[in-house]
């Protein structure tokens, strides 16, 4: 993997790139508290078959941490990604997004559909439907941001890794769990707090009413033990013109972490399917 840090719109974006110029491209976007490192095992499985690019999203990993909250907002993140992909001269790629990264991937595809060949959303949503829901969630996200700013990264990670959403990850090996913990501990207070304030689920626009506009092939992936996102994906599938929903047994929110080989295989099979077997 080649690690690169490119200056885009006055911010440095860090990414990992397998570098092949003659292979189909997959772009991976991580979730909240994650980084490009979360995709290492998946990339290892698919190595040599695709050019793979994993991006550290704004405020995460080794990407710049903006000073202003507005720079974390969805419109800014989409503009950063578009500028990055233009700089990389990639077009017609598979876009994979997990959780927060899935929300961003969905929004990017809505705004720049000609650049994306197929969209794969893992445990993602289009945001919240009502003003009231968004206001309540924005308030909760703000309180969580304040908690990070007050208590620091370690205390937040101790709390975050024990929320019900990640309960199934306790079944992972000690080594795998420590890798996830280290990835979270390597984040920065300002980055996580800014992300919650600027691009949390309560702050982002709702894309529920736009799903019918996305006509390219979409794969929705959920873990069967993540009931909330199974329900969301079922409803999303009914709104997309061309979507498939697959639920993976005995896993929770982060399929790519709990079952990386299976996740990679499903991504590959989907790409082959939409290419007509070519």
Tokens of 265: 């295989």
Give the start-to-end residue ranges of the domains of the chain.
2-129+205-274
Confidence grade of residue 276 (pLDDT, cut at 50, 70, 90): confident
Confidence grade of residue 275 (pLDDT, cut at 50, 70, 90): confident
All residues at 6 or more sequence positions from 120 whose CB lies less than 8 Å from its CB, including other chains: 94, 95, 96, 97, 218, 219, 221, 267, 270
Kindly report the length of the chain. Answer: 278
* For range 74-81, the mean pLDDT: 97
Tens of pLDDT, residue by residue over 151-174, are 999 999 999 999 999 999 999 999
- Rounded CA-CA distance 113/61 in Å is 27
Tens of pLDDT, residue by residue over 94-136, are 999 999 999 999 999 999 999 999 999 999 999 999 999 999 9
Tens of pLDDT, residue by residue over 176-192, are 999 999 999 999 999 99
2-129+205-274 has which CATH code?
3.40.50.1820
Report the b/e string of 253-271 with b at 16+ CB within 10 A: bbbbbbbbeebbebbbebb
- Rounded CA-CA distance 206/222 in Å is 20
E-strand stretches of the chain: 2-8, 11-17, 25-29, 51-55, 93-98, 116-122, 218-223, 243-248
DSSP conformation class of 206: P
List the single range of 85-94, 225-234, 269-278 with lowest mean pLDDT.
269-278
Tens of pLDDT, residue by residue over 18-77, are 999 899 999 999 999 999 999 999 999 999 999 999 999 999 999 999 999 999 999 999
CB 80 within 8 A of CB 56: no
In the predicted structure, residue 277 carries a pLDDT above the cut 70: no
E-strand stretches of 32-166: 51-55, 93-98, 116-122
Tens of pLDDT, residue by residue over 182-223, are 999 999 999 999 999 999 999 999 999 999 999 999 999 999
* For range 66-90, the mean pLDDT: 96
In the predicted structure, residue 278 carries a pLDDT above the cut 70: no
pLDDT for residue 125: 97
Confidence grade of residue 1 (pLDDT, cut at 50, 70, 90): confident
Residue 151: count other Cβ atoms within 10 Å of its Cβ. 13
CA distances, 33 to each of 55, 86, 113 (Å): 13, 26, 27
All residues at 6 or more sequence positions from 192 whose CB lies less than 8 Å from its CB, including other chains: 32, 33, 59, 60, 145, 148, 153, 156
Q: What is the pTM of this model?
A: 0.96
Confidence grade of residue 255 (pLDDT, cut at 50, 70, 90): very high
């Amino acid at each position: 993997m080649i690690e690169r840090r490119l200056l885009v719109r006055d911010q440095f974006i860090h990414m990992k790139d397998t570098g092949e110029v003659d292979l189909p491209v997959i772009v991976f976007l991580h979730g909240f508290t994650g980084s490009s490192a979360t995709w290492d095992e998946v990339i290892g499985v698919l190595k040599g078959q695709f050019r793979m690019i994993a991006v550290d999203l704004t405020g995460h990993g080794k990407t710049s941490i903006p000073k202003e909250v507005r720079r974390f907002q969805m419109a800014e993140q989409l503009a950063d990604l578009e500028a990055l992909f233009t700089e990389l001269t990639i077009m017609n790629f598979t876009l994979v997004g997990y959780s927060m990264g899935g929300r961003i991937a969905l929004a990017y595809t809505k705004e720049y559909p000609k650049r994306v060949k197929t969209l794969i959303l893992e445990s993602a949503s289009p945001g919240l439907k009502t003003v009231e829901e968004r206001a309540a969630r924005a308030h909760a996200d703000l309180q969580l941001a304040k908690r990070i700013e007050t208590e620091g990264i370690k205390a937040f990670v101790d709390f975050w890794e024990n929320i019900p959403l990640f309960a199934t990850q306790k079944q992972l090996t000690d080594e795998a769990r420590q890798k996830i913990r280290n990835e979270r501990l390597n984040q920065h207070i300002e980055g996580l707090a800014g992300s919650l304030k600027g691009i949390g689920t309560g702050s982002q626009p709702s894309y529920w009413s736009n799903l019918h506009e996305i006509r390219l092939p979409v794969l929705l992936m959920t873990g069967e033990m993540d009931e909330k996102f199974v329900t969301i994906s079922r409803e999303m599938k009914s709104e997309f013109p061309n979507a498939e929903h697959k639920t993976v047994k005995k896993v929770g929110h982060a399929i790519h972490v709990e079952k990386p080989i299976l996740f990679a295989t499903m991504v590959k099979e989907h790409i082959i399917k939409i290419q007509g077997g070519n």
